[in-house]
């Protein structure tokens, strides 16, 4: 849980676009961007990945490293709820 909290802090420090950032599951985060190109989303994902993998986490005097996997999904239509959006993103990222 310590590393997840620290990763969340890193994310918050990197986010410059208007977005919604939330913990989605035990070890998953979701960042929803509005009016953002897929290219911008990929750039941001790469920035997050690099930042996390280069960061040295200090937990109980032990230095830890972390890696992460990122999925990027884009939609160009309207959805009614966040749940619909998350379901669509989940389905489209598995194609």
Q: Which domain holds residue 36?
A: 2-93
Give the H or E element holding residue 58.
strand 57-59
Token code pair at residue 95: 């194609």
Banded model confidence at residue 35, pLDDT cuts 50, 70, 90: confident
Per-residue model confidence (pLDDT) at position 61: 92
Query: Which residues lie closer than 8 Å to 67 by C-beta, 6 or more apart?
Result: 52, 53
pLDDT tens-digit readout, 38-80: 898 889 889 888 998 999 999 999 999 988 888 887 777 777 7
Number of domains in the chain: 1
Domain containing residue 24: CATH number: 3.30.70.270
79 DSSP 8-state letter? -
């Amino acid at each position: 849980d310590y590393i997840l909290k620290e990763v969340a802090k890193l994310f918050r420090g990197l986010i410059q676009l208007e977005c919604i950032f939330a913990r989605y599951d035990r070890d998953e985060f979701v960042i929803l961007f509005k009016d953002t190109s897929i290219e911008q989303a990929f750039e941001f994902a790469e920035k997050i990945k690099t930042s996390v993998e280069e960061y040295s986490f200090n937990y109980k005097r032990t230095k830890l490293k972390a890696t992460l996997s990122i999925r990027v999904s884009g939609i160009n239509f309207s959805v009614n709820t966040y749940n619909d959006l998350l379901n669509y993103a989940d389905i489209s990222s598995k194609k």
